[in-house]
Amino acid sequence: MNSNQCVMFLLDSIEFIPLSINWHPYFIFSSDKTKNQPSMGMNNNRVEHFDCHDQQQFQTIIKITQHQQQQELDIAMEIHKVELPPQRTTLHKLKQRLSEIFFPDDPFYRFKNQSCFMKFILGLQYIFPIFQWGPQYNFHLLRSDAISGLTIASLAIPQGISYAKLANLPPIVGLYSSFVPPLIYSLLGSSKHLGVGPVSIASLVMGSMLSETVSFTQDPILYLKLAFTATFFAGVFQASLGLLRLGFVIDFLSKATLVGFMAGAAVIVSLQQLKGLLGIVHFTTKMQIVPVLISVFKQRDEWSWQTIVMGFGFLAFLLTTRHISLRKPKLFWVSAAAPLTSVILSTILVFLLRNKTHKIAIIGNLPKGLNPPSSNMLYFNGPFLALAIKTGLVTGILSLTEGIAVGRTFAALKNYQVDGNKEMMAIGLMNIAGSCSSCYVTTGSFSRSAVNYNAGAQTTVSNIIMAAAVLVTLLFLMPLFHYTPNVVLAAIIITAVIGLIDYQAAFKLLKVDKLDFLACLCSFFGVLFISVPVGLGIAVAISVFKILLHVTRPNILVLGNIPGTQIFHNVNQYKEASRVPSFLILGVESPIYFANSTYLQERILRWVREEEERIKANNGSSLKCIILDMTAVTAIDTSGLDTLCELRKMLEKKLLKLVLANPVGNVMEKLHQSKNLDELGLKGIYLTVGEAVADISSSWKAQP
């Protein structure tokens, strides 16, 4: 083979490496004498043995070919400049940031380009949603709301009496709380299906927190004053959160901790009802599981077989109806009517056997009439004011969390939105009004809302219908509850709180997130063995700890190239992703703040050390460059900037280059203002990881 034939054969044998597969700008060939292997595992074209006499001509053609290939690579991979965001004044940035924090939903967009009169109408509709749907209200909607309102009234009346006793309040206060708050909410609330009234968890927490300091039997007037005052502060706190648009505060109660807290509270509530189910007179006021069980078995001489038979009989009836409604949702009315049916039947039974059932405790006389004003009973001065404020804050957070969660659940089923901040103001204002009209803490009840939804409620008029039914009861039917046995109220409470034990959610937590499951267990056992307020505190502490853990210990991933693409992903997640020789590509999945900057620096240096050890063990290409993928770094502070600067200097001492890829606008702005951009230089920041690898690899090959 002559020299010309040799060169032509060589050119035909050259295969250029596609940029998306291999980053090294040289061609691949091999001979019997010399074999050049590609660094990223490509198949080689083999050049058979040839006899070239003109070595000078051969080397010239090789240089020309390399130059042409480099030009093609430059065309294929254009290096884009990372731009700075548009300049903005500090005032403009502050305004935009506050808008994103407090007005993410932009509630004022409807007022834009409107006349003064229309702005007034829209403002009225925003504050009072009833003016928005009221003009379109018709008889068809009224019929649906009337049916659902009467249905939830049959549930609200016995539940109101029962939950008031759970809070250690007179039973009549529970009915008062089912009259005024629903009327207020129907004017201010945005949920069409929320059934408003007393709830078990808030009642339990209020009763346990107040009774630890003040005895409801020895000083009932002071206890009642503190309950109304706690309700007032709960309403002020809730309305303030809505007015100041600070709803994110309640998000510190995570779903996992709430599952555990609710389950623990449900167990404690159920065990407390053993007093009524067994007919025990002298029962402990403590709310922990151990003292309650000790009190149950210690007072065995007070057990009444008549009470036990009646209590467990009606409990079985209520649980059966609940099971039927769960299995067949169309029969929702069965469980909805069961509590009132139980009250009526048990009252008739005790009345007929009143001469033979002396050991069965009854409610007794309940006063007729509307809610008496209670503004004069608010306790604003005295040694127990701090207790009332603390109780109000705790019950306010719990009731607000439950009410908004329930409202959003049923809104999602009907494909409409519930404004969280408006709900906070509505719930807060109805509790403020309730505290001045002999009511205690109320919110949206899940059981009542579920019945309201299944009964076909269309608007908040269903709450007005329910309040009207309670009004009739207060005015005319109160004497009929004289012989209602306490044991039936205990059975109603147990049936209601059993639904709070969501074991399926706990199993899901165990399967999906072990840390969430641990948080769930801690809050559950905290309620059971310590106390309800402490259990709630544990739940909040665990939620905050989890946030701090994610902020201070963010993920850092090693990225590799997926063959045939310019995509870089986690090498542990994508097995086909391969590390790029001489590069260590790390993805930071968190903002870089003072809280995590030191950890990130230490962790990156550890990755560098481990990568060098891996290369040494595998006899690979020496490490030359570390690329930080900043795509997920949404923000950076001065501590983070200092950390990057220190890290760059430490790597330079090891003859390693630090490069940033795809920093977001906010981060770029901080880098520019801190002069870190000048230190990194033009070759220190790239738009993508792919461009960084290609450009740096090319510069290495261009060097002699």
User: Where do the domains of the chain lie, and which CATH numbers do they carry?
Assistant: 133-361+372-494+505-545 (no CATH), 554-702 (3.30.750.24)
Q: Tell how far CA 700 is from the center of its chain.
A: 49
Q: At what angle do helices 486-498 and 305-327 cross, to 10 degrees?
A: 30
**Is pLDDT above 60 for 62?**
no
Identify the DSSP state of 595.
Answer: T
Query: Which of 685, 280, 329, 289 lies closest to 526, judged by CA?
Result: 289
**Is pLDDT above 90 for 437?**
yes
Distance (Å, whole) CA 696 – CA 580 = 12
**Pairing mode, if any, of strands 685-686 and 583-588?**
unpaired
Distance (Å, whole) CA 358 – CA 149 = 36
682 band by pLDDT with thresholds 50, 70 and 90? low
What is the number of other CB atoms lying within 10 angstroms of the CB of residue 150? 15
Query: Mind listing the pLDDT tens digit for each residue in 324-339?
Result: 988 888 888 888 888 8
Q: Say which residue the tokens 């109160």 belong to.
A: 478
Distance (Å, whole) CA 154 – CA 150 = 6
Torsion, Cα of 617, 620, 623, 626 (10° steps): -100
539 band by pLDDT with thresholds 50, 70 and 90? confident
Which of 87-101, 134-148, 320-334 is predicted with the least confidence, judged by mean pLDDT? 87-101
Mean pLDDT of 139-155: 89
Both tokens of 440, joined, read 């205690």
Query: Which of 629, 659, 669 lies closest to 84, judged by CA?
Result: 669
**Is pLDDT above 90 for 453?**
no
Main-chain dihedrals φ then ψ at residue 639, nearest 5 degrees: -65, -40
Distance (Å, whole) CA 667 – CA 231 = 46
Task: Identify the pLDDT of residue 58.
Answer: 52
Distance (Å, whole) CA 121 – CA 298 = 65
Q: At what angle do helices 255-272 and 514-529 cross, to 10 degrees?
A: 30
Query: Which of 534, 486, 125 lies closest to 307, judged by CA?
Result: 486
The model's pTM is 0.75
Task: Identify the pLDDT of residue 55.
Answer: 54
What is the number of other CB atoms lying within 10 angstroms of the CB of residue 559? 24
Q: Return the higher-pLDDT residue of 702 and 620.
A: 620
**Is pLDDT above 70 for 435?**
yes
Query: Mind listing the pLDDT tens digit for each residue in 196-218?
Result: 999 988 998 899 889 888 988 88
Query: Which of 139, 183, 193 lies closest to 456, judged by CA?
Result: 193
> Are the beta carbons of 400 and 241 closer than 8 angstroms?
yes
100-114, 489-503, 625-639: range with highest mean pLDDT: 625-639
Mean pLDDT, the chain, integer: 83
Sign of CA dihedral 567, 569, 574, 577: positive
**Is pLDDT above 60 for 583?**
yes
Query: Which of 336, 332, 339, 333 lies closest to 317, judged by CA?
Result: 339
